[in-house]
Every structure is written in structure tokens, then in C-alpha cells.
Chains A and B, each alone.
Chain A
Amino acid sequence: DTAVSQTPKYLVTQMGNDKSIKCEQNLGHDTMYWYKQDSKKFLKIMFSYNNKELIINETVPNRFSPKSPDKAHLNLHINSLELGDSAVYFCASSPLREDTGELFFGEGSRLTVL
């Protein structure tokens, strides 16, 4: 029973298209995140939501719009895709506790923009 699940796992699309990635966690965690891992394997935080409220927005272009309908879901919509958006996008969740370092990651969604 997958704790953090993302769909789709693979996405190949043309520049200029709009696409969405969905994420769901069944761990009962309050906080969810989106991270981007680029071709150099650098994992960078994009957004963090706490119980549906946006907490962290790391100067991500506004073509990226996260949406959290409830605390178990955090979806990512990307408009007008660019070549540089090609990456693996990881969703993660964690309990709302100070100093916890344990993020539970989904398996990642590999986006390729042609």
C-alpha cells in the first residue's frame, strides 16, 4: 500500500503544452512538498503546503501552480512548458513536527519536454 503516490510516473510532451502531476499521501501527514530534481541530480524544494495552506514558495515561475484540495493531496499544474522544465518532480510529505527530517517521497514523475 503506497504511502505517497504520484501520477503519472512518466510524461513526455511538447513545449508550450500544459500538464498536471497529481500526488496523494495516506500517511495522515499535515505537510506536503514538491521538489524538482534536475539532470545534475540537484534536488530543490519548490513548494510546501501545510494543511492546504501554502507555506513555502521558492521563487518558482508562476507557470507552476500547486493546488491542495485537502491535506492528503497536492497537485502540480505547469503551464506553457519549457525545455528547462524537464526533470524528475518528487512529491513528499512529513508530519508537522519541529526538527523532523524525515520526508516520505513518492517515486517521482519524470517529465520530458521536447
Chain B
Amino acid sequence: GEDVEQSLFLSVREGDSSVINCTYTDSSSTYLYWYKQEPGAGLQLLTYIFSNMDMKQDQRLTVLLNKKDKHLSLRIADTQTGDSAIYFCADESNSGYSTLTFGKGTMLLVSP
């Protein structure tokens, strides 16, 4: 079945860049997504990328997509302590209808 995999934990220092990686299996996804979850909150959409694109930049966020290897990454430039959260990669379920398949999430810890 469909699967989305992420590393579970990443620790960086404030000011460094963070790179969160994700692999997915469903090659039919038209869009791929990155969400952020802070403690006690729901998921917040950070950005998404159309599957025909290789890269998308949005302020401090850069998404890279390697469709051949089914690899997606999220780079956060100048990481701040406020970026500490869990980051989820998601692809579109082939059953459609606003259904996403999420990875287990990567916990990003930013230390001062």
C-alpha cells in the first residue's frame, strides 16, 4: 500500500539550516505537502509542491522534489527556536477526495 516515511528526529542550532527528508511510494500524487504541528495544536499547512516541479521556494522554506527517487525534502533557512515542532510530509492518496497519507512526522528541536 501507500507509504510515506520520514526520519523521526532532527536537532539543529539556532541560525543553522534544517533539512527534513521524506520518501513516498505513491507516484500518482499530483501534489505533495508539508505540514507543521506545534504542541497542543492541529496541523498547519506550510507549503505544497506540484509534482511537475523540482523546487519551490517560499521565504525561508525550500522544497525539493526528486520524482524519480520519490524523495521530498523541506529546507528551513535560518532556523529559529520557534520552528521547533513536528513536521509532516504528506502525499495524496490514490483514493482522492481530499485524502492525504501522512508520514509519522519529524520532530525538529532547535537549540539556542
**Do A and B make up one complex?**
no
Task: Give the A-binding residues of B (Cβ under 8 A).
Answer: none
